Structure 1
């Protein structure tokens, strides 16, 4: 008997055709042809890719702000006011130079020193301090220079060695750039050794989001 003409055989062929078509339609998603989210290793934050290939950090759900930051806001309400201005800074040569100068000057001006066992004190414009003090000072200085507060966000991260750390993230037309007191280099967030934990809202610095 010729099985190629039986109804069961034709049904099987049709089912196989549908499976192949479904797999083919999924290939763009699997290989990133469409705009997609990308997750890095060791808890790296996910990012959305724009048409130019630039990726930004994407916040997930609301989370608690660091308790020491809440205390900082109580003492420094102007640093924690709702943001205004553009959410993304157009990074031309002048702005890029300004960003590098602020990063380097603050890194040099503050002497790196921990808060001590059992203490976590967030401050800005100090002579000595730890990572979050560098980040808060950079944010304050950039705002004073006319940068949009909405584009300047503190982030809590972990270094490649697993240590808790804080940095300033600047949202620019070239992607999210990281200002880190450990280095004078300003890098795109995906080119750092950092694992991302939580980040401020650009619209309201008192609100934080998990990554």
Structure 2
């Protein structure tokens, strides 16, 4: 076995573990309350200004950019570990985004709001260069990621996604505490665990590439 192959095995195992954890969390969110759609339809929908509605809207947007960044780096590197992580993020966060948008539809709430993001957290957010919420990459950062290749693209992606996950986990912690529906509390709690696991994985990947988070 070559040294490159030996070096890639721990990362492959770590990436596989993260994927299993993420898929397990998604399955738990889907299967745990098997009557969730019926319960949501029969009970009173969360209020327009609720943490449930606000979190579902904001995190759907936050997840959309994470999926976008993962697609970008997937095509900018041949590194197996980074591409596996990107695949995990694409699948997990696209799945979660679909769940949140589905709940908004079930509740009879619009999928977007004319008001500023993160009002449900009591935050005042000012968009900066396309970054609508904390942790989101700016348009300039996304353009730089699109222009990068190889190790440069990997490091840029890992740094951007680490920041993205940290802010996402903070939002999820707030929702897990403040939400009134079991659907959002369960999903948000799972997000915290999943994103913390990926943050730790990305810190190791950055260290291997001689970069800090």
Q: TM-score, normalising length from structure 2?
A: 0.26
Write 1 or 2 for the structure with the bigger share of helix.
2
**Greater Rg over alpha carbons, structure:** 1
Write 1 or 2 for the structure with the bigger share of strand.
1
